[in-house]
Amino acid sequence: MTFRWFGDSDPVTLAYIRQIPGIYGIVSALYDIPVGAVWPVEKIAALKQKIEAHGMKFEVVESVPVHEDIKLGRPGRDTLIANYVQTIRNLASCGVKVVCYNFMPVFDWTRTTLAMPLPDGSTTLGFDAALAGSIAPGSSVRLPGWDISYKDNEFDDLISAYKDVGETALWEHLSYFLQAVIPAAADASVKMAIHPDDPPRPIFGLPRIVKNREDLERLLRIVDHPANGLTLCSGSLGADCHNDVAEMVREFSGQGRIHFAHLRNVKVDEEGNFHETSHLSSAGSLDMAKILQAYHDTSYEGYVRPDHGRMIWGETGKPGYGLYDRALGAVYLNGIWEGLGKNSSKATGDAS
């Protein structure tokens, strides 16, 4: 069990996270390094030292962003990929074992609201499909999750650039990236774990290619090596009610290709609207116990973390990443896991 931490500016401190029962490690990144630049060993080591000083491990990075020029297949991508490979080597030298990344064009997640009110008085991240669908590419409208580091002209230029990059071209660019990066990651004993698209559908005229079981299978075939794996995010994939998350877990965990599990519950409808809920199975559309059962049955030994939580008990800060609801989620998920283990042991004992 791990927990996401956004560095010294995060109001959720390492001292607080350490007090959550069952936390093994911290998932973090270097947030002050420009996308495409090499992460210096000394800065990685300093982050590791800070985390370990609080009694937790630093073995998973989320994320090492992929530069848009790589996704667009631009001429400078080879230099950027070489930088990416060097970052992987530097991370490996500091004991990092898994790198989470994504290949979503322009922005890596989108919601239409950061504070959707729920009946219990909490607020959560929500997505209104009709509202999102009414926004034309190149519009001046900005939604939560759209990278505010882009200036207006840079943002619009990127949107325009993707007009000539459909799903076929994006797959080609992802393949080019994987064929260069996965062998280097394997040599460094690092497992790459791609995060699915969030939400798992094309939006704003941009291609999205990591949306469902077929996409995941295709991606793993590009470089058929254990170092080429998945961050299987139940909330992202579960935002499409046609995705059977538990079955995906059984298939890909059974193949040893899930290296990082994001466990999040969502309430979703047929129109594509969804909002995030507490982790309880009864709160959302996903049966978290069934999903964890699939991990248990396939002898999953990788990293997990409680993904986004509601904002509860008056907490303020980064929406989706408050302390309280994620802490409740971690304990809930660990409780299910403990129960699965004890039931399995009891069944084995009864059989013998």
Print the SS3 string covering 135-156: CCCCCCCCCCCCCCCCCHHHHH
- Catalytic, 108? Answer no
The whole-number pLDDT of residue 144 equals 67
pLDDT in tens, 123-143: 999 999 999 888 766 666 667
CATH number at residue 42: 3.20.20.150
pLDDT in tens, 38-88: 999 999 999 999 999 999 999 999 999 999 999 999 999 999 999 999 999
Answer whether the bond into residue 199 is a cis peptide, omega within 30°: yes
Contacts of 188 (CB under 8 A, 6+ apart): 88, 89, 91, 92
pLDDT at position 7 over 80: yes
- Catalytic, 308? Answer yes
Among the options 215, 233, 275, 279, which is catalytic? 233
pLDDT in tens, 274-324: 999 999 999 999 999 999 999 999 999 999 999 999 999 999 999 999 999
Q: How many domains does the chain have?
A: 1
Percentage of the chain modeled with pLDDT above 90: 85
Q: pLDDT band for 203, please (50, 70, 90 cuts).
A: confident
Among the options 197, 215, 308, 325, which is catalytic? 308
- Catalytic, 279? Answer no
The whole-number pLDDT of residue 342 equals 93
The whole-number pLDDT of residue 133 equals 87
Among the options 10, 108, 215, 307, which is catalytic? 307
The whole-number pLDDT of residue 157 equals 84
pTM for this predicted structure: 0.95
Q: Which domain holds residue 165?
A: 2-351
Among the options 67, 173, 259, 262, which is catalytic? 262
DSSP helix, strand, coil percent of the chain (3-state; round to 5) = 40, 15, 45
- Catalytic, 262? Answer yes
- Catalytic, 241? Answer no
Among the options 84, 162, 303, 321, which is catalytic? 321
- Catalytic, 275? Answer no
Q: pLDDT band for 148, please (50, 70, 90 cuts).
A: low
pLDDT in tens, 321-342: 999 999 999 999 999 999 999 9
The whole-number pLDDT of residue 25 equals 98
Residue type, 136: A
Among the options 108, 128, 173, 195, which is catalytic? 195
